[in-house]
Structure 1
Amino acid sequence: MKGLKIVSTGRALPAKVVTNDDMSKLVETSDEWIATRTGIRTRHFCEGEKQSDLAEQAARRALEHGKIDPKDLCACIVATVTPDHSAPTSACLLQQRLGLPEDIPCFDMNVGCTGFIYALQVARGFLLQSGRPHALVIGAESLSRITDFTDRGTCVLFGDGAGAAVVKLEEDSLYACTLGARGDAEAIFIEGPGSERPYIHMDGQKVFRFAVEAVPHCIHVLLEETGLSLEDIDWFVPHQANKRIIDHVAKKLKVPNEKFYQNMMHYGNTSAASIPIALDEMAEQGLLKQGQKILCVGFGAGLTWGGALLEW
């Protein structure tokens, strides 16, 4: 089987850093209240940057890190719920800015916080059909643009950022993917353009219950498909929504907490960008070693879930 391999990664964050103390000036909250309930200490907000700018920066870094010629890309997929425009898509803007081939698919995907996982699987499909060796997958968000800063239940959670990965096929390389969806317009929703309140709306308790069910489900499906055990996985890289969710899952699976990478304390919930940002950060820190087994798992609005198990 031809598995999917991550060749290189990149990330981009806005310059503006917003602390929990900064948030307490906007809404009734405190650093202690936010940190104990979410694990989040700071996040980045766009101030002049656009979502497409972050996507471009992350993509350029991924291409540079892998020494990838844009002409060798067979697809460009951007996972996002916050594009700059309904049209053109962020991916089409990147085609122009990065000088990508004009005869390849470039499009955005809206799958909430699971977007990067969905995009990986779609990229694999294009690679199987193309003569070009690489695909570009990006998660990029400017969630501050759709955040209600009068709602302390949501405004403290989200941040802006982008993460990118260049991927390729590799013969006999470990790879498995599981994706799913369950329509639910109440748990998390964002009203469309023209709405009086075009913000993120979320039932926190409902999302928590969903997440602690969906993440172990994805993990068990992938382990069963590959014949691996929890002990065989070197790193679990979950969507960085909330520390309590990740800690609960680790305890439920009886897996050491240290094997679940967490960085939401620095970035908050960056939706589709959170997993690729984490992977790039881990690669930069030297945490990811060749041959390690990495299990990425996401969950989000839709409701959607997805997991990808691959070898570094």
Structure 2
Amino acid sequence: MTIASCGSCLPEQALHNRELESFLDTSHEWIFSRTGIAERRIAGPGEDNLTLSLEASRCALVRAGCRGEDVGLLVVAATTADRMVPSLACSLQKELGARGPAFDLNAACSGFIYALAVASLFVESGAVEKALVVGTETLSRILDWTDRSTCVLFGDGSGAAVLEPCTAGEGLLSLCLGASGEGDRLIRAEGGGARMMASLRGNLDGSVAALRERLNFLSGSGHEEDPFLRMDGGEVFKFAVRKLEEVVRLLCREAGVGLDEVALIVPHQANLRIIEAAARRLELPLERFHLNLESCANTSAASVPLALEEAVRLGKVSRGDLVLLAAFGAGLTWAGALIRWTAKR
């Protein structure tokens, strides 16, 4: 299996650090020196995960020389789904005119590579000829914009990739997926889950006495929990640096290649300090890592495909290059993929 093409879409509105100074106790210099982030894109009216994913997907399909009906599998990675049901993948399938299975998965910032791994099984087995994998987020809508420890870090966007079969020795050479549920409280957002569905309380108000008596427990189930994205930054930093190094080394070892043979590493764009620390541990120059977090910030599941698309578009990836994707995120999760690049476009 190989990546035939990539596509991306960012919201129109950019929000610079200097604009945050007007309502947060912070400054551009403080944010940039600690994260490497200068601005992020924010989904505006009329923009959501479906519209962003649709544009990114169409871009990838055009570059692959195919149409929506050629897609036999659609997997969407997202933390911030537009709604609980139906899945974003099914809505996207409808808009694209695609066919076959379509579903979402949530592995947070590792999601795109998780989706890539799942889709690769369908392609490599011959079950489908082409698969579309999407990573998308509208994180701005689950942030507490008074909390400078989180809201300065994240942005919105969507990235997509078309997968297709390839000859042995090309395309996907090694994969790494992992999770440690013991860290499930380190990055969390309680809002949007069934434990916080305030509508349940509304459904009981004014209902018949027998119904209220039987289901009254629902009206007090978790409504006072914090709905916003929260993070233990210190612990996440240590985990991220360690796992980023481990994933890179493991992928190279399993593929039987040296670190010096990898042309480009595309890491999850969480924080410049994390990437710098991992680069030092790997004894690699920062130039071997593609970075776009200065203008995009952390876009969770969209982070890796957005950075990969940009690297390809800028000519930083050539046919035959070894490209390594690596991510880490809430759960805690981590993932990686080493690819011998085959795409000509």
| Residue 176 of structure 1, aligned match among 174, 177, 182 | 174
For 1:186, the aligned partner's letter is R
1:260-284 residue CA offsets vs partner (Å, 9 max, x unmatched):
1111000000000011001111111
- TM-score, with length taken from structure 2: 0.87
More strand by share: 1
Counterpart of 1:186 in structure 2 is 185
Identity across the alignment (%): 43
Secondary structure of 1:11's partner? strand
How far the C-alpha of 1:133 sits from its partner, in A, is 1.6
The answer (yes or no) to whether the contact 2:159–2:306 under 8 Å persists in 1 is yes
For 2:180, the aligned partner's letter is R
Secondary structure of 1:155's partner? coil
The answer (yes or no) to whether the contact 1:56–1:97 under 8 Å persists in 2 is yes
| Residue 297 of structure 1, aligned match among 305, 318, 326 | 326
The answer (yes or no) to whether the contact 1:74–1:130 under 8 Å persists in 2 is no
The answer (yes or no) to whether the contact 1:9–1:61 under 8 Å persists in 2 is yes
Counterpart of 2:7 in structure 1 is 10
Distance of 1:81 and 1:234 partners within structure 2: 30
> Would you say 1:165 and 2:166 are equivalent positions?
no
Counterpart of 2:83 in structure 1 is 85
Distance of 1:198 and 1:293 partners within structure 2: 41
Counterpart of 1:22 in structure 2 is 19
How far the C-alpha of 1:152 sits from its partner, in A, is 0.4
For 2:242, the aligned partner's letter is E
- TM-score, with length taken from structure 1: 0.96
Counterpart of 2:214 in structure 1 is none
Is there any run of 5+ residues in structure 1 with no aligned partner, and where?
Answer: none
How far the C-alpha of 1:68 sits from its partner, in A, is 1.2
> Would you say 1:127 and 2:116 are equivalent positions?
no
How far the C-alpha of 1:131 sits from its partner, in A, is 4.6
Distance of 1:27 and 1:311 partners within structure 2: 44
> Would you say 1:154 and 2:150 are equivalent positions?
yes
Distance of 2:125 and 2:163 partners within structure 1: 14
For 2:233, the aligned partner's letter is G
| Residue 66 of structure 2, aligned match among 65, 68, 82 | 68
Distance of 1:83 and 1:311 partners within structure 2: 32
For 1:148, the aligned partner's letter is D
Counterpart of 1:33 in structure 2 is 30
How far the C-alpha of 1:168 sits from its partner, in A, is 1.2
The answer (yes or no) to whether the contact 1:82–1:142 under 8 Å persists in 2 is yes
Distance of 1:198 and 1:8 partners within structure 2: 37
Distance of 1:287 and 1:38 partners within structure 2: 24
Distance of 1:253 and 1:131 partners within structure 2: 38
Distance of 2:26 and 2:126 partners within structure 1: 51
Q: Which has the higher mean CA deviation after the structures are superposed, 240-249 or 119-128?
A: 119-128
Distance of 1:10 and 1:26 partners within structure 2: 34
Counterpart of 2:293 in structure 1 is 264
Matches within 5 A, 1:85-104: 85-101=83-99, 104=100
Aligned length: 307
Distance of 2:94 and 2:69 partners within structure 1: 13
Distance of 1:129 and 1:177 partners within structure 2: 16
1:109-159 residue CA offsets vs partner (Å, 9 max, x unmatched):
100000011011100111134453210000000000000111100000000
The answer (yes or no) to whether the contact 2:21–2:28 under 8 Å persists in 1 is yes
Alignment root-mean-square deviation, CA: 1.1
How far the C-alpha of 1:249 sits from its partner, in A, is 0.6
| Residue 204 of structure 1, aligned match among 224, 233, 236 | 233
Secondary structure of 2:301's partner? helix
Q: Which has the higher mean CA deviation after the structures are superposed, 153-162 or 124-133?
A: 124-133
How far the C-alpha of 1:237 sits from its partner, in A, is 0.4
The answer (yes or no) to whether the contact 2:142–2:191 under 8 Å persists in 1 is no
Secondary structure of 1:152's partner? coil
Distance of 1:96 and 1:83 partners within structure 2: 16
| Residue 144 of structure 1, aligned match among 136, 140, 147 | 140
Matches within 5 A, 1:211-222: 211-222=240-251
Distance of 1:221 and 1:280 partners within structure 2: 24
Is there any run of 5+ residues in structure 2 with no aligned partner, and where?
Answer: 197-222
> Would you say 1:47 and 2:44 are equivalent positions?
yes
| Residue 233 of structure 1, aligned match among 241, 262, 280 | 262
The answer (yes or no) to whether the contact 1:74–1:127 under 8 Å persists in 2 is no
How far the C-alpha of 1:182 sits from its partner, in A, is 0.1
Secondary structure of 1:261's partner? coil
1:177-214 residue CA offsets vs partner (Å, 9 max, x unmatched):
01000012221011033355311110000000000110
